[in-house]
Amino acid sequence: MSESALNQAATFAAIASGGLLWILEGAMPFFKGRRNRLRHAIPNLAVAAFNAALSATLLIGSLGVLAWVRPHWQGLRGLFENDLLASIALVVGYDFWMYLWHRLNHQVPFFWRFHRFHHQDEAMDVTTGFRFHPIELALSELLRLPALMLLGMGATELALYNLLAFPVILLHHSNVALPERLDKALAIAIPSPNLHRVHHSAKREETDSNYGSLLSIWDRMFGSLRRRDDFVDFRFGVDERL
């Protein structure tokens, strides 16, 4: 699949999965009794629209740097002769960077000043998956460049990652009630909704866990996986730490 087709597919996947999850949140909500869902969604989607334009602008510069670097440095890609294996390795490697970056956003006070905007949503739903501070996005674009160069990633691999990750990220932010067995089965491979609800807890000891974006393996490997037996008296949001 071409880079252009992958980008179109990733955009469609985000819009389609977001729309479907929005409908399912109304039909089978995990936290029931929520009102004014549209009023809650509009500010998050407005931030998302601004961020989409910002990200597209920043990405142009990043891709230019990567294109300049590629003839001189192949990175992890150079270890693979098979394109499919290379793509899998790059997607997994980039997801590891996403885990590290997310963890840094919680543990470094300067980064947390901006990342907490994402956590301040006290009624997390699928639209929260689009809610990020523009400065966090700018920092993310700048600081991921060395990781992208080390991996040897280009536009095609980034589009492939987005295609896979967008639906997962929106799912685990959603207020959809999945059967418990299904949620636990999903959690073996990806951050399930219940795992990510713990991550958005107002309690610091809970929010500082479950950092995975596409894969949940990193939380298992580095001891940051945390489960909750029930969500009675559970509260989203932020207990200030600064």
Indicate whether 236 belongs to any domain: no
Q: What is the value of pTM for the model shown?
A: 0.93
Indicate whether 232 belongs to any domain: no
pLDDT, tens digit (0-9, with 9 covering 90-100), for 111-120: 999 999 999 9
3-state secondary structure of 236: strand
pLDDT at 28: 96
Closest residue by Cα to residue 215 from 165, 166, 173, 177:
165
Looking at the predicted structure, is the pLDDT value of residue 9 above 90? no
Quote the domain boundaries for residue 40.
3-221
The CA-based diameter of the chain, rounded to the nearest angstrom, is 57
The pair of three-digit structure tokens given for residue 141, joined into one six-digit string: 């674009």
How many domains are contained in the chain?
Answer: 1
* Euclidean distance between CA atoms 97 and 190, whole angstroms: 16
pLDDT, tens digit (0-9, with 9 covering 90-100), for 52-70: 999 999 999 998 998 898 8
* Euclidean distance between CA atoms 184 and 192, whole angstroms: 7
Q: What whole-number percentage of the chain has pLDDT above 90? A: 81
Give the DSSP per-residue string, 7-58: HHHHHHHHHHHHHHHHHHHHHSBSS-----HHHHHHHHHHHHHHHHHHHHHH
Q: How confident is the model at residue 1 (pLDDT cuts 50, 70, 90)?
A: low
Alpha helix locations (H) across the chain? 3-27, 37-69, 83-107, 109-119, 134-151, 155-173, 180-187, 193-199, 204-207, 217-221
Q: Are 118 and 130 in contact (CB under 8 A)?
A: no
Phi then psi for residue 206, to 5 deg, are -90, -45
Which residue, chain included where needed, has tokens 């990781």?
Answer: 147
Indicate whether 230 belongs to any domain: no
Give the mean pLDDT of the chain: 93
pLDDT at 189: 97
Indicate whether 81 belongs to any domain: yes
Q: Is the dihedral of CA 165, 167, 170, 172 positive or negative?
A: negative
pLDDT at 8: 85
* Euclidean distance between CA atoms 78 and 40, whole angstroms: 46
Indicate whether 231 belongs to any domain: no
Q: Give strand pairing partners of 171.
A: none
Indicate whether 234 belongs to any domain: no
Q: What whole-number percentage of the chain has pLDDT above 70? A: 98
At 111, the amino acid letter reads: F
* Euclidean distance between CA atoms 198 and 226, whole angstroms: 7
Indicate whether 168 belongs to any domain: yes
pLDDT, tens digit (0-9, with 9 covering 90-100), for 142-190: 999 999 999 999 888 999 999 999 999 999 999 999 999 999 999 999 9
Indicate whether 229 belongs to any domain: no
3-state secondary structure of 229: coil
pLDDT at 74: 85
pLDDT at 242: 45
Looking at the predicted structure, is the pLDDT value of residue 6 above 80? no
